[in-house]
Amino acid sequence: MELIIFLGSLSFFLFLNIPICLVMVLSAIVLMLHSSGFNLMSPNFDFMTIPQSMVDGVNNYPLMAIPFFVFAGEIMAQGGLSKRVIMLAQLMIGRVKGGLGYATIVAAVIFAGLMGSSVGEAAALMGILYPMMKDAGYNKGRAGGIIASGAILGPIIPPSANFILLGATVELSITKLFMIGLLPGLLIGLSLLVMWFFIVRIDGYTETITFTREQSIEIIKESWPAFLLPVLLLGGIRFGIFTPTEGGAFAAVYAILVTTCYYRELSFRKLLRVSATAARSTAVVMLIVGSASAVGYFITLAQIPLQMADFFSPLIPTPTLLLLAIMVFLFAAGMVMDLTPNILLFAPVFYPLIYQAGIDPYFFGLLFVLNVGIGVITPPVGTVLFVVCGSAGISMGQLVRKMLPFLLLEVSMLLLLLFFPQLSIVPMKWLT
């Protein structure tokens, strides 16, 4: 009964188009009223429980990495690193036909190792590469589709703010979550390159990008600090030089030094503006985290995880079928709710099931984040779709039709990883 009340109230408030943080607070209130039997004298009826749970939810040391990585990403976007990464990607693969599309995918992979955010990655790529593709004669929907499809690598390739959230929520090693996402993220990037090879021939794109020797040297000279950051960051985490939280601070300091001292494109005044933007973005994330913690308290009180366990318990002896069923549920949830609240709401619900079935928790974490990450490019509530459509001035229908081959490919990669877990577990064990 409590499960139906929770999902029903969540769906009802989402349907009213209420902001997600308020949706979760309202769902918490509904669960509190139900648990108290609508008795104002019941010990379960205490409105102070909600703000207390919100404060406890954000008072979490691993979550400190999020503002650092958000800050570093904003600095990179505003301080000149973004355009230099794109120039490097064009130099690496732009000589072949359809070079701008190939460069977009390579840039998406590199950006994922710098920003860790699908929305930020999509915005950066749309601002620089989309006008170039439009001028080269690309179909608007196809150009936006390849950018949106590449943006989902942000939550998978480390450093990923979503892996940080997941690790903090269900108490997993963030380092291991980072490492289990590395190879699958690269495999998805490679599969997008292969798909683009066929799309180029279907659409008939013929443009190439060439540089002189002097230009190539200048691009390498300008872009190596940006390319070096993910190497230093992952190397430092892998060899225990710093924790993921300390790595976030390192990334922020590194970005400040490179953009102010090497590129000299970020003035003190501009740095203050970037800091304010990063603070607003962090505040939004933390408000969602706090709201999810409040509803999570009442989810636990109502024993909803146990009800979910009873519902899925016939599948526990067959872990693959259990994973398939959960993936279908999460895919549906990802179509109507953003990545962050999906992680915060459903990870505590499903992880007890995963432990009962003997499934590797890090492997499930990868599937979880990839699945709800695909949700940001699925209608009707795909945040990346809104970013791309707004920047390109096209309808969501135009975008989704041209993006469909890439979306189906990424769903296929999710299923491939599900049926062949060693593709992710073995590299994680080697890297950690």
Name the amino acid, one letter, at 227. Answer: F
Given a cut of 60, is residue 196 above it in pLDDT?
Answer: yes
DSSP single-letter state for residue 377: G
The CA-atom distances, in angstroms, between 180 and each of 6, 173, 174, 351, 370 are: 32, 11, 10, 17, 12
As a whole number of angstroms, the distance between CA 114 and CA 250 comes to 12
Decide if 118 contacts 376 (C-beta within 8 A): yes
Place of tokens 């872990």: 319
pTM: 0.88
Per-residue pLDDT of 383-392, as tens digits, reads: 888 888 888 8
Q: How far is residue 19 CA from its own chain's centroid?
A: 19
Q: What is the mean pLDDT of residues 258-285?
A: 86
- Give the range with max mean pLDDT: 218-222, 365-369, 372-376: 365-369
Q: What is the mean pLDDT of residues 326-330?
A: 93
The CA-atom distances, in angstroms, between 344 and each of 113, 280, 293, 316, 366 are: 23, 20, 8, 23, 15
Decide if 115 contacts 281 (C-beta within 8 A): no
DSSP single-letter state for residue 261: I
Per-residue pLDDT of 223-247, as tens digits, reads: 888 878 888 888 888 888 888 888 8
Per-residue pLDDT of 3-46, as tens digits, reads: 788 878 888 888 888 888 888 888 888 888 877 665 655 666 67
The residues spanned by each domain of the chain are: 2-431
C-beta atoms surrounding 4 within 10 Å:
10
Handedness of CA 236, 237, 243, 248 (dihedral sign): positive
